[in-house]
Structure 1
Amino acid sequence: MSLLRFTRRATAPLVFASSLLALSAGAQTAQQVTVTATRVPTPVNQLAAEVTVIDRAAIERNEGRTLVELLAQQAGLQFASNGGLGKTASLFIRGLESRHTLLLVDGVRVGSATVGTPSLDNLPLEAVERIEIVRGPMSSLYGNGALGGVVQVFTRQAPQGLSANAKVSAGSNSYGQLAAGVGYGERVFDVAVQAQHTDTRGISATNPNVPFGSYNPDRDGFRQSGGSLRLGWRPAGDWRVELLGLHSTGLTRIDDGPGADARAELLNEIVTLSARGSVLPGWKTRLSLSESTDAYDTLASASAFASLGTIQTRTRQASWENTTATPLGTALVLIERTSEKVARPGAPFSVSERDIDALALGLNGNAAAHSWQASLRRDRNSQFGGITTGALAYAYALTPAWQLGASYGTSQTLPSFNQLYFPGFGSPTLQPEEGKHAELSVRYSVGEHHLRAAWYDYRYRGFISSGPQPVNLPKVAIDGLSLSYEGRWRELDLTASYDHTDPRNATVGNANFGKQLVRRAKQALRLGVDWEGGPWSAGATLAAFSHRFENAANTTRLGGYGTLDLRGEWAFTPQARLGLRVNNLGDKAYSTVLGYDQPGRQAFVTLRWVMR
C-alpha cells in the first residue's frame, strides 16, 4: 500500500477516537502544566497554542531512538538526519527550517550560531526529566530563533528524601549504555546528579548516492559521555537559589570520502545560576546568569573542503524576569541580554560576535470560559538594529468539553554567521527573516480522551535560501492541517495524529515558484498504543511519511517510508524492570537526506532499577 493511499485512511483513528469521546463520561482529567508557552506556569487547557509535554516514561519507552526521532513522533514535527546516533540532524516544526526552532535546556539557549541551528545531536537523554514543545511563533517571548516554535528540555530534579536509579542497555550494532543517578531532597536543600555513557559501532552513514564522492562503506559509530547536576537551596519563604550544570562530549565517526577514518568530537556545556522568589504578595521575580558552549572539533577528514579544528559558539545570557498578578491576569516583564561569540579554524569571520538586548512584556489570563495570552518584545542587536515582534491568542470554552482557539503572531530569525560571513559561501547583505502566523483550532476533551484539530497559515518575508551564497526570498508560504488524539480505552493508551503540511516557495517569478521546501514530507501519520497489565506492559508505534525532495527545484525525490516499533517490559520487582524494544521491525531502508542511511531493524534489551 502506498503512503498516499495509507494516509487517505488517516482520519480513521480520529473518527474512532470521536466515537470513544461520544461514549465517554465523567469529569475532565487533571491538565498538564507548561512553563514554556507563556514563561509562567499555565495549564495546557487554557492555551490556544498547541503544546506537547513528553514525560520521563515516554522517553524511557524510546530506547535507541535519537532526540529528533523522539520529537518527530509528535504531531507537526519531522526530522532529517545524516545517519543515526550522534550524526547531524534537523528538526522541522510545521514545515519550517531547523534554524526556526529554539532549543532550551532549563531555560538556557543551546545551539550553534555558526550554522544557526539547535544542538540536537549530543544531549544525554538519561539526564532529561521532561520535554515541552510549543508550536507557532514564540519570538515575542524568546526572540531570535523561535520563529517556528520552542523545544525546552528539563533536567532531573531530586524528589524528597533519598533517591537513586541505574540502567544498563545493550543492542544491535554493538550498542551499549550505562547510566546512573542519585538525588537527595529536603525542605532547605536538594541535589541531583545523573551520568551516562553510550557506545555504538553504528551503521555506514552514507550510501553510493551521497553527493560529492563522500561515500565510505565503513561503520560510523558514536561514543558519548555526559551528565547533569542540579543544586537547590531555599534560604527563606518561597525563595530558591539554583545551580544547574550539564556536560556532554561525543566522538562521532562520519563519512566524507574514502581514505580516512573521518571523525569529530562534539561538546555541549551549560551552566546556570538563578534565584527566584516573591518580592511582595503577587509579585515574583527571577534573576539568572547562564553560559552555554557548543563545539564541533574535526579531528580527521577525507574531504579537501574540511578544515581540522574547532568550530565553537559561546552564548552568555543575563535575564531579569518579573511576574505580577493583575485583574487581567499574570503580567510579565522581562529584561534580557544575550551575547554570542563564535570561533572557527583559520582566519576568524569578519564579524565574530553579536549582542542582543531585549525587553519583553506579556499577559496571561482567564475568566469563566475565556482565556487569553498577549506578548510584545523589542530586540536590539549589534548587527541589524531593532526588531519588534508580538503575538495575541484567545481561547473560548463553548462547553466544558469544547474549546475554540485563535492566534496571530509575528516572528524573526537572524542569519547565522556562516550564512553571512563564511568565505566563498556566505552573503554579508542577508537580512533577518520575518514571519506572520495565523492559527485556528478546536479542542474536544472529556474524561481521558483529548482530540485537537488546528489549521495554520504562515507567511514569510526574507526567507533565507539554502546552499552557497544564500539570498532572502521575498515570499515563502506554509499552510496546513494538524489532527491529533490521545486517550485511554479500557487498558489501552492510544495516540494518533495526521498532518498535511504544504511548505512552498511563494515568490512569483522565482525559478522555483510553487516548489516544495526541501526535506519535508507533506503528509505524516502516527499511531501509538500501549497496554499495561500488572507487572507486564507492551506497546507499538507506527510512523509513516510521504515523499520529500532533496533540492529546491524538486527534481531529486526521496521516497516516502513507514516504520513500526514494538516494545515490552516486565517489572519483576517493585524496583526493577526488564525491557525489550525493536525499532523499524520491517527493516525498512530509507533516507531523510540524499545519500545518508537511517538504521534498519534494531533490537535493545534494557534493565532499569529505581530506589523505592
Structure 2
Amino acid sequence: NTSASVRLSHELAGGAEVFGTLLHSEGESEFDATQKDWYEFTHHASSIGIRGNLTEQWLSTLKVAYSIDESERFGGIRSKFNTERNLLDWQNDLSIGERHLLTLGADYQNDRVNVSDDYLERSRDNVGIYGQWQTNLDRHDLALSLRRDDNEAFGRETTGQIAWGVRLNQDWDFYAAYGTAFKAATFNELYTPFVDFSQFGFPGSYVGNPDLRPEVSETYELGITFESGMLYLDAALFETQVDDLIVNAGGIDRRPENINDARIRGVEVNLMLRNNLWTAAAAVTHLQHEDRNTGKKLNRRPDSSLRLDLDRHWNAYSIGSTFMAEGSRYDDVDNQDRLGGFALLDLRASYRITPEWRLSGKIQNALDKDYETIQGFNQPGRAFFVTLNYQQR
C-alpha cells in the first residue's frame, strides 16, 4: 500500500482564502484461496475551494470535490468494481448582530458505478438545500437546522435538527437535541460483485443488494457537561429509531439487507483530567440495540466499549498509551455466530527536533492480540509506525 496526502491553503489579496486537499492510496492485496488470488485497488479523494467575506457580515465558501474507489480482482474469479463521486457545495454564513448566525447553502452530488455485473442503474444525482440558525440568548444557546434532498434514485426527503443548551452555573451545562436523518444506500452496498467465501475455507458468499431501501431515522439526546480547572466531564443519554436500517446480514448470506424497525439506546460518558505534564482521558459507551420485529440484537455492534488515554509531555518529548476494550457481538442478524470481546494496547512517543520538525513512533496492538470484528476476517496484529513531520507556521 502506498499513500500520500496533501493539504494547502493560501490567502489572496483582500483576505480571501484558496484551499485544497488530496488523499491518494493504491496497492495490492494478495491471499491464498484454492489458488492465488489478488486485488488491485485505488482510493482517491481531492477537493479545491475558495472562501472569503463578500461583506463584513457575509462569509461565502465554494468547494468542488472528487473521489474514486476502484478495485479489480484477478486469479480464480475476476471481477471489477469502480465508483466515482463528484460534489459541488456552496455555503454562506451570515452574521446577524452579535448573537445570531444564519447558514444557507446548496450542494450537488453525482455518483457513478462501473462493475463487472450488469445493472440498469449506473449513476444517480442528489441535489440538496440546507439552512441553519444559531443564536445565543444570555444563558441559552439554540440551533435549528433544515435540509431538503432530491435524490434521483430514492426521491425527496426533508430532515432537520433542533438543539438547545443552557448554562446552569459557572461549571455545569445542560443540553437536549432532536434530529432526523436520511441515508441512501451506497453503490458499494447495492452493486458489489459476487464473492464465494468457500475459497477461504468457510461457507457463504457476499454480493450487493440492488433492492435496498434508504434509511430514515430520528434521534433524541440529553446531556450534561462539567468543566472546572483540570477536570472536564460530558455525559449523555440517547435513543435512535431507524426505519429500514442497512446492515450486512452476516452468517452464510452476507449480502446487505434492511431491518424494518431498529432501535439503539445508549449512555456515553467522557472524562478528561489534565495538568501541565499529564493528560488522562476516559470514554465509556453502553448500548441497548435490537431489531424490534425479532427482538434480536443488531449484528456487529458491541454492547459496551471502553477507551483510556494517558499522555505525558515534558520539554520536547511526549509518551503515551491507549487502552481500548470492546465487548462481544454477533456477526449475523440471527444471533447465532458470536464473536468474543477483545482488549488492545497502543503505545506512542514523539520528539520535537526543532520547532518545525517532529519525529514520532507508534506501536499498534502492542500485545499482538488476535481478534475479529467480522467472522473469518482477522484484524491486523502488532504493527510499527515511524513518522517524520515538518510544519512551517
TM-score when normalising by structure 2: 0.87
Structure 1 residue 361: deviation in Å? 1.3
Tell me if the contact between 2:62 and 2:91 (Cα under 8 Å) persists in the aligned partners.
yes
Specify which of 470, 474, 499 is matched with residue 285 of structure 2: 499
Provide the residue aligned with 1:296 in structure 2.
71
Would you tell me which structure has more helix in proportion to its own residues? 1
1:330 is the counterpart of 2:101: yes
Q: How has the CA–CA distance of structure 1 residues 399 and 426 changed in structure 2, closer, same or farther, with 3 Å as cutoff?
A: same
Unpaired segments ≥5 residues, structure 1? 1-222, 508-512
Q: How has the CA–CA distance of structure 1 residues 579 and 335 changed in structure 2, closer, same or farther, with 3 Å as cutoff?
A: closer
Specify which of 219, 231, 239 is matched with residue 457 of structure 1: 239
Partner secondary structure for residue 474 of structure 1: strand
Partner secondary structure for residue 350 of structure 1: coil
Separation of aligned partners in 2, 1:235 and 1:275: 13
1:227 is the counterpart of 2:9: no
Provide the residue aligned with 1:396 in structure 2.
166
Deviation per CA, 1:339-384: give whole Å up to 9, x if none: 111111253x211111111111111121221111110111111112
1:543 is the counterpart of 2:324: yes
Tell me if the contact between 2:117 and 2:193 (Cα under 8 Å) persists in the aligned partners.
no
Partner secondary structure for residue 411 of structure 1: strand
Tell me if the contact between 2:189 and 2:256 (Cα under 8 Å) persists in the aligned partners.
yes
Partner secondary structure for residue 399 of structure 1: coil
Separation of aligned partners in 2, 1:240 and 1:423: 43
Partner secondary structure for residue 377 of structure 1: strand
Deviation per CA, 1:393-414: give whole Å up to 9, x if none: 0010101210000000000111
Partner secondary structure for residue 486 of structure 1: strand
Aligned pairs for 1:561-572 (under 5 A) are 561-571=342-352
Structure 1 residue 331: deviation in Å? 0.8
| Structure 1 stretch displaced more, 568-577 or 461-470 | 568-577
Separation of aligned partners in 1, 2:285 and 2:248: 24
Deviation per CA, 1:302-331: give whole Å up to 9, x if none: 4x4xx333x222222222222212356111
Tell me if the contact between 1:256 and 1:301 (Cα under 8 Å) persists in the aligned partners.
no
Would you tell me which structure has more strand in proportion to its own residues? 2
TM-align CA RMSD: 2.6
Aligned pairs for 1:502-581 (under 5 A) are 502-507=288-293, 513-571=294-352, 577-581=358-362
Q: Partner letter of residue 317 of structure 2?
A: W
Provide the residue aligned with 1:277 in structure 2.
52
Tell me if the contact between 1:350 and 1:421 (Cα under 8 Å) persists in the aligned partners.
no
Provide the residue aligned with 1:373 in structure 2.
143
Q: How has the CA–CA distance of structure 1 residues 470 and 579 changed in structure 2, closer, same or farther, with 3 Å as cutoff?
A: closer
Separation of aligned partners in 2, 1:504 and 1:582: 36
Provide the residue aligned with 2:198 in structure 1.
none
Asked which structure has the greater RCO (Cα within 8 Å, sep 6+), the reply is 1
Specify which of 166, 176, 181 is matched with residue 411 of structure 1: 181
Provide the residue aligned with 1:343 in structure 2.
114
Structure 1 residue 595: deviation in Å? 1.9
Specify which of 219, 239, 244 is matched with residue 437 of structure 1: 219
Q: Partner letter of residue 330 of structure 1?
A: L
Specify which of 234, 250, 254 is matched with residue 26 of structure 2: 250
Specify which of 349, 353, 357 is matched with residue 123 of structure 2: 353
Provide the residue aligned with 2:44 in structure 1.
268
Quote the sequence identity (%). Answer: 27
Q: How has the CA–CA distance of structure 1 residues 436 and 260 changed in structure 2, closer, same or farther, with 3 Å as cutoff?
A: same
Deviation per CA, 1:126-180: give whole Å up to 9, x if none: xxxxxxxxxxxxxxxxxxxxxxxxxxxxxxxxxxxxxxxxxxxxxxxxxxxxxxx
Structure 1 residue 301: deviation in Å? 3.6
Q: How has the CA–CA distance of structure 1 residues 448 and 276 changed in structure 2, closer, same or farther, with 3 Å as cutoff?
A: same
